[in-house]
Structure 1
Amino acid sequence: MVDNLQVEKSGQIIEGEIVMKLKTIGIVVMTASLLLGLSQTTIAREPPVAKMVQIEGQVEYTRNGKRWNPVRRTKYLFPGYKIKTGANGSGKLINQQTGESQELGSDSEIEVTIDGIALVSGNLTEPQSESVSVFQSLMNKFAKAQRYTTVRRSLTSNDDKVCDNKVRTIRKISLSPAHPDLVWRNACPEFSYRLIIDGAATDISAQSTSEMIRHTISGIEPGEHSYRVEVLDKDGTVYIPRKDSTFVWVSGKDEKEMVSTLDSLNDDVFMQTNYLEEKGMYVAAMDAYRDYFSENPDDNDMRPLLIQSYNDLKLTNLKQSEARLYNAVLEEDY
Structure 2
Amino acid sequence: MARLTAIVTGLLLILQATAGAAAAGDAPPVLLIQAAGDVAYSTDGQTWRKVRRNKFLHRGYTVRTGPDGRCKLLDQETDRIRTVEPGTVVKIGEKGLTVLKGQVSKAAPAGGVAAFLERKFTRVQKYAAVQRSPKNRTPKQFKTARRVVLSKEYPDLVWENQGPLYSYELAIGERRFKVPPSKEEIIRFAPPAILPGVYPYRVKILYQGEVLQAQKQDGELRWLSDEEVEAFHRKTVRIEALTAEDGFLLANLMDDEGLKVAAMDTYRRYMAENPDANEVRPFLIKVLSDLHLEQMRRQESVRYHRLQDQEK
The TM-score with structure 2 as length reference comes to 0.77
Report the Cα distance in structure 2 between the residues aligned to 1:98 and 1:25, rounded to whole angstroms: 25
The match for 1:276 is 254
CA distance in 2, matches of 1:227, 1:25: 45
Alignment partner of 1:256 is 2:230: yes
Matched residue SS, 2:131: strand
Q: 2:174 aligns to what?
A: 199
Change in Cα spacing, 1:172 to 1:162, as seen in structure 2 (3 Å) is closer
Aligned-partner Cα distance in 2 for 1:47–1:312: 21
Map 1:156-305 to 2 at 5 A: 160=135, 162-208=137-183, 210-234=184-208, 236-266=210-240, 267=243, 269=247, 271-305=249-283
Residue 93 of structure 1 pairs with residue 87 of structure 2: no
- CA separation of 1:206/1:152 partners in 2, compared to 1, >3 Å: closer, same or farther? same
Q: Which moved more, 1:268-277 or 1:162-171?
A: 268-277
Alpha-carbon separation, structure 2, partners of 1:303 and 1:25: 25
Amino acid at match of 2:21: I
Greater Cα shift, 259-268 or 269-278: 269-278
- For residue 314 of structure 1, report the CA deviation from its aligned partner: 1.2
CA distance 1:177–1:103, change in 2 (3 Å) = closer
Shift of 1:290: 1.5
Q: Tell me the SS of whatever aligns to 2:192.
A: coil
Q: Are residues 196 and 175 of structure 1, via their aligned partners in 2, closer, same or farther at CA, if it must alter by over 3 Å?
A: same
Within a 5 Å distance, the mapping from 1:1-334 to structure 2 comes to: 27=21, 45-60=25-40, 68-71=50-53, 74-78=54-58, 83-99=63-79, 101-109=81-89, 122-125=101-104, 128-131=106-109, 137-153=116-132, 160=135, 162-208=137-183, 210-234=184-208, 236-266=210-240, 267=243, 269=247, 271-334=249-312
In structure 1, stretches of 5+ residues that fail to align are 1-22, 29-43
Higher helix share: 2
Report Cα offsets for 1:56-104 as digits up to 9, x if no partner.
Answer: 4443557895863523xx5433468664433322123233335565542
Quick one: which amino acid aligns to residue 179 of structure 1? Y
- Pick which of 254-263 and 80-89 moved more: 80-89
Measured in 1, the distance between the counterparts of 2:19 and 2:42 equals 21
Whole-Å Cα distance in 1 between the matches of residues 230 and 114 of structure 2? 28
Partner of 2:263, secondary structure, is helix
| More deviation, 128-137/268-277 | 128-137
Equivalent AA in structure 1 for residue 203 of structure 2: V
2:204 partner SS: strand
CA offsets 1:195-222 (integer angstroms, 9 cap, x no match): 12233332222212x2211101211111
C-alpha deviation, 1:140, in angstroms: 3.3
Task: Provide the alpha-carbon RMSD of the alignment.
Answer: 3.5
Q: Indicate the structure whose relative CO is greater, using CA pairs within 8 Å and at least 6 residues apart.
A: 1
Once the 2 structures are TM-superposed, how far is the Cα of residue 169 of structure 1 from its aligned partner? 1.4
Going from structure 1 to structure 2, the CA distance change for 1:24 and 1:329 (only over 3 Å counts) comes to same
1:170-213 CA-partner distances (Å, limit 9, x unpaired): 222211000000011112333221212233332222212x2211
Identity over the aligned pairs, expressed in percent?
Answer: 29
- Seen in structure 2, the aligned counterparts of structure 1 residues 168 and 99 have a Cα distance that, compared at 3 Å, is closer
TM-score, scaled relative to structure 1 = 0.72
**Relative to 1, partners in 2 of residues 1:24 and 1:144: Cα closer, same or farther, differing over 3 Å?**
farther
Distance 1:206 1:287 in 2: 22
Change in Cα spacing, 1:70 to 1:54, as seen in structure 2 (3 Å) is: closer
